[in-house]
Chain A
Amino acid sequence: MKRMFGLTITTLSLAGLLLVGCSSNATEDELKQLEDLKAEVTSLENELASKQSELDNMKKMIAEKDAQLKKCADDKAAAEKALKGM
C-alpha cells in the first residue's frame, strides 16, 4: 500500500515537472511585441476606416460636380439654341 502510494506521488511529481519543464513559453519581450503588433493593427484599421470615409465623401462630391456640370452644359446648350434662333 505504502509502495503504491509512493509510486503515485512520484509519478504525479514527475509529470508536473515534465509539464513545467518541457513547455516553452513566450518571453515578456515577445508578449510585448505581440501587444504592440495588436495595437498597430487596431490603429491601422481605424486609419483605414477614416481614409475610406474621406474617399467616399470625395466620390460623392465628384458625383455632385458631375450633376452640376451636366446641368450647366444643358443650360448653356439651351441658351445657345435660343439665341441662335434670334
Chain B
Amino acid sequence: MKVMIRTLLISVLAMVLTVGLLAQEMPKEEWQNQMNELTAKRDDLQAKLSEVEKAIEEAKTMLDEKNSALKECNDELMALVGEYEASLNAIDSKLTSLAGLSNQALLERKGELDEVATMIATAKTNPLAKVPKYASRLTEFERRLEALRKALEGAAMTYTVGTWAKDRDCLWNIAKKPKIYDNAFLWPKIWQANRSDIKNPDIIHPGQKLTVPPKAPLTPEEKSAVREYWRNKGQ
C-alpha cells in the first residue's frame, strides 16, 4: 500500500513539473500569432514614419519659403518706414533716459524736454504719423513728455553759493544765471524759498545751499516781499 501511495505521489509530481515546463515555453502557434501581429504593427509604423518624414521635408521647404517672403516683406517695409521708425526710436530712448533721472537732474536737463517736444512735433508732420501704430506711439510719447513736465514742475533745484570774489554770487546774479532763471528779476523767488536761511537778501554766504524753485512769474507774496524789501532799504 505504501509503495502504491509513493508511486502515485511521484506520478502527480511528474505531471505538475511537465505542465510547469510547458507553461514556460511558447507554443509555435502563439509565437506565429505574435510574430504576425508585430510584423503588421512594424509595417504600419514604418509607413507612418515615412509619411511623417515626408511631411517634415515639406514643412521645411514651406518654412524656408515663408522666411524668404517675410524677409522680402520686411525689407520693403523698412524701405518705406525705416527712417521714420528710427526717428521714433530716438524719441523713445530720449524719453526713457530722461524718465530715469532724479527731479534734480531733470531740472538741469530741462532744455532737453523742449528738444523732445520738437522731435515729436516734427514726427507728427510726417504722413506716416497717420498710420495707427505710429499715431499711438506718438500719443504715448506726448503722454510721457507731459508726465516729465509735471515732475519738473514739482521739482526744486539747489544752488551752492560761491564766493563774491570768484563767482560774484548774490541773489540777483544767481537768478540771472542761464541755468537758474536767466532772469535777474526773479531773485525774490530764491529769497522767499529760502526765507528761513536768508533774513536779509543782500547777505548770503559762500557754501550756503539755496533751494531754487522752478522758473515761474513772481507770486503775489513774492512781489509783496520785494516791495517790503525796497521800502526797508529806502528807510
| A interface list, Cβ under 8 A from B | 2, 5, 8-9, 12-13, 15-16, 19-20, 23-26, 30-31, 33-34, 37-38, 40-41, 44-45, 47-48, 51-52, 54-55, 58-59, 61-62, 65-66, 68-69, 72-73, 75-76, 78-80, 82-83, 85-86
Q: Which residues of B contact A (CB under 8 A)?
A: 4, 7-8, 11-12, 14-15, 18-19, 21-22, 25-28, 30-31, 34-35, 38-39, 41-42, 45-46, 48-49, 52-53, 55-56, 59-60, 62-63, 66-67, 69-70, 73-74, 76-77, 80-81, 127-128, 130-133
Asked whether, in the complex, the Cβ of B35 is within 8 Å of the Cβ of A85, the reply is no
Given contact pairs A23-B27, A75-B81, a sample of 13 additional A-B residue pairs in the complex whose CB atoms are under 8 Å apart: A12-B15, A25-B25, A26-B28, A34-B35, A37-B38, A47-B49, A48-B52, A68-B70, A69-B69, A72-B73, A76-B80, A79-B81, A82-B128
Majority secondary structure, A binding face: helix
Contact B14 A16 (CB under 8 A): yes
How many inter-chain contacts with C-beta < 8 Å in the A-B complex? 130
Q: Do residues A76 and B73 form an inter-chain contact, with CB atoms below 8 A?
A: yes
Q: Return chain B residues, CB-CB under 8 Å to A68.
A: 70
Contacts of A59 in B (CB 8 A): 59
What are 5 of the A-B contact pairs (CB < 8 Å)?
A25-B27, A40-B42, A48-B49, A51-B49, A72-B70
